[in-house]
Amino acid sequence: MAGQERSPERPGRLLELDALRGIAAILVVVFHFTAAYGHEIGWTGTEPLFRFTSGQAGVALFFVISGFVIAMTLERSRTALDFIVSRFARLYPAFWFSALLTTGLIVATGFNPFHLTIPGFLASLTMANGLTDMPFIDPAYWTLTREILFYAFFAAAYFGLGARHTTGVLLAWIVVTSLYNVFVADTNVYACRTAASCGAILLNATFAHLFAAGALGYKIHRGERTPLVLASLFLAIAAASVSFWPEQGFQPSSSLKAAFFVGLVMAAAAGYLKFLRSPVLIFLGAISYSLYLLHQVIGYFLIGGLVRWGLGADPAILTAFCLVTILASAVCYGIERPAQRAILRLYAPYRERRRVDAVPSV
């Protein structure tokens, strides 16, 4: 579409969506550093002047972006294996490095605020730790389980039933998960402790509407504005009102937030939000995944150490943020991107052979 700009390094990516990813990551980091730290670790001196308590906004934005991007990625993947390899190359190298680095800090310093165990460490390396009740290496990793469950679900629908049937699948998913939230789910949606909570995680019940809304937004972005797509998107936004039903009941404001995030992502993809092309936002978008992976346990360790050395809460938070950003930049450009390129380069000859073999002889 006119007005869009794509990354010269990765031409299939929209710079504006990367920038939104950076904003989402910053929202989560600021929430953990200013609000969650006091609850999870505790301030020993002065407390921060500012607390950002809406960390879920960053998570919701992440999930809408993921729905949009995965729909786009599936459209560009010839086979299920192409999709699996591309997702593995994108996610796992940086994840494993960050997980090992965080675990190394825990072992070396004894700073283990979330009670990581060896089984929890091993389960975390799969990204599927959310399907258990074991502690994560870093609590922020809970979203990764939701991501890979969505990838598996949507890819199975796309390659198993065909692209034209995915709207119906998304609509059914929204309906089923909304009913589950109202009639089955319990208040625990983050750990698999009861049959109801395990079912909610497997179905992605609490967050299905966000992933679905992003995917449907991509369909509209590509020109698929059928009544079924539009009605499904409307229902996904409406479903936000009951997404946390067991804990919060009916929350119409959640639908307004969901509509805002979907509109933001679609406007960014269409090139209407030119301010997102700021070099700072694009840089933050580039390192957003590594920043998300590294920020919580390492950031808490840095904040606590800086406070013990005499810094106030606010200078400690700012310093820790800068240090974690530097670390995330190093991991992004030193591990994440080189490993992704290497894996895709190794896979390319095999993919090409399969493509040639699939061409019928004449």
Q: Does the CA dihedral 41-58-336-323 come out positive or negative?
A: negative
d(CA 102, CA 111): 10
Residue with tokens 């969901």: 258
pLDDT at 85: 96
Domain presence at residue 147? yes
Assess if residue 129 is contained within a domain: yes
**Which ranges in 184-224 belong to alpha helices (H)?**
195-203, 208-221
Q: CA-CA-CA-CA torsion for 7, 10, 14, 17, nearest 10 degrees?
A: -100
The reply to whether 55 falls in a domain is yes
Residue 360 lies in a domain: no
Domain assignment present for residue 15? The answer is no
pLDDT at res. 64: 98
* 2 occurs within a structural domain: no
Q: What is residue 217's predicted lDDT score, i.e. its pLDDT?
A: 97
Q: With the C-alpha atoms ordered 128, 132, 136, 141, is the resulting torsion angle positive or negative?
A: positive
Domain carrying residue 60: 20-349
Domain count, the chain: 1
**14 in any annotated domain:** no
Encode burial over 324-333: b for 16+ CB neighbours within 10 A, e otherwise: bbebbbebbe
- Ranges of residues in the chain with a pLDDT under 50 are 1-12, 359-362
Q: Which two tokens stand for residue 201?
A: 């995680």
Q: pLDDT tens-digit profile of 55-100?
A: 999 999 999 999 999 999 999 999 999 999 999 999 999 999 999 9
In a domain, 331, yes or no: yes
What is the pTM for the complete model shown? 0.92
Residues 182-216: tens digit of each pLDDT:
999 888 778 888 999 999 999 999 999 999 999 99
Distance CA 34, CA 47 (A): 9
pLDDT at 6: 46
pLDDT of residue 10: 46
pLDDT confidence of residue 121: 96
CA angle 303, 304, 306 (to 5 degrees): 65
Long-range contacts of 47-51 (CB under 8 A, 24+ apart): 47/313, 48/313, 48/314, 48/317, 49/313, 49/314, 50/314
